[in-house]
Chain A
């Protein structure tokens, strides 16, 4: 049972345009949502997060939007750059004791073309 879903396995965008990556979840108990970026042969790198009590968080070119009623979040990258080409993972957390458990989506491969 996949609680975090990224239904688009790939996305291709032209340099300078907006990239929109989507993510849906089913568990209403998730308290934080995160986006990770992953290059080949490297580990995932944290990009941006949003608390479940917020609906938007912005950091430079990256903005995450959360629609709790629809159980949907999206990552906007504007303007997109070739260096943004990577796999983007959506993740959600439930706080447990001293740590937290990340539940990942299956990722979206973003390709930013010149």
Chain B
């Protein structure tokens, strides 16, 4: 039974389109994250939500809008897609407490290709 799942796994789209990536976790965690891995394989945090509230918002263009309908889901909507948005996007979740408290569990990633 998958702990952190993302859909779709692959997404190919044209510049200017709007697309969404969905993430769900069944671990009962309070906090969820979105990371972007660029072409240089650098993993960088984009957003974090704790109990549906935004707690981390890095310098990400406002074309990216996360939405958390409940604490088990964190979706990422991207407007007006650009070539530079091509990357692998990873969703993750973590408990607020527990040991090791900083452990984040990652989904399998969504490879977004913008043509």
Which A residues form the contact surface with B (CB < 8 A)?
Answer: 31-32, 34, 36, 41-46, 49, 87, 89, 93, 95-104, 106-107
Contact = CB atoms under 8 A, between A and B. Distances in A.
Given A43-B108, A43-B109, A104-B42, A99 B94 contact: yes
A87 B108 contact: no
A101 B105 contact: no
Contacts of B43: 44, 89, 104, 107
Determine chain A's interface SS by DSSP, over half rule: strand
B contact residues, range: 20 to 34
B90 A49 contact: no
B28 to A, nearest CB: 14
B51 interface: yes
Contacts of A45: 106
B89 to A, nearest CB: 11
Contacts of B105: 46
B96 A104 contact: no
